[in-house]
Amino acid sequence: MKQMSEALAEFWNSFGGRKNNGIGVEPDLKMAALKRYVQMKFGFKKRMSVAERRTKFERVKKRRHNLKSHAICFVCGRNANVRHHIIQIAGGATNAKRNLVSLCTPCHDEVEGRSRT
């Protein structure tokens, strides 16, 4: 868990801290960082399955990170409609607030490697 915490601290420090939310940083740099971090893998802290972690995320989303208080896409600044884990649940991440960003659908699809038609 210490390695994941350090990775997330490095992520946010490169964008001026979590409160800054990357304001003034080029969208291409933000996208590249998200694509790098989505590839990271860490061991699970607790022996919960990915499905159990996803279910827990859906239960606690209102307390951790919601789209009303974080309504702007981290990458492009448009209206956000997706909450994204910087380091993925499947990669061993937690549902910590510092591991979440808001994204618009096109940016989320790009980070996840999905093509839009």
- Give the residue extent of every domain in the chain: 2-112
Nearest to 84 by CA among 50, 63, 61, 68: 61
pTM of full prediction above 0.85: no
pLDDT at 70: 76
pLDDT digits (tens, 9 = 90+) for 30-67: 999 999 999 998 875 556 666 776 676 666 555 556 66
Mean pLDDT estimate for the chain: 82
Residue 112 amino acid letter:
E
The β-bridge partners of 85 are 100
Above 70 in pLDDT, residue 116? no
Work out the number of other CB atoms within 10 angstroms of the CB of residue 101: 28
Q: Hey, what are 72's tokens?
A: 């702007």
pLDDT class of 13 with cuts at 50, 70, 90: very high
**Would you say 103 and 74 are in contact if contact means Cβ atoms under 8 Å apart?**
yes
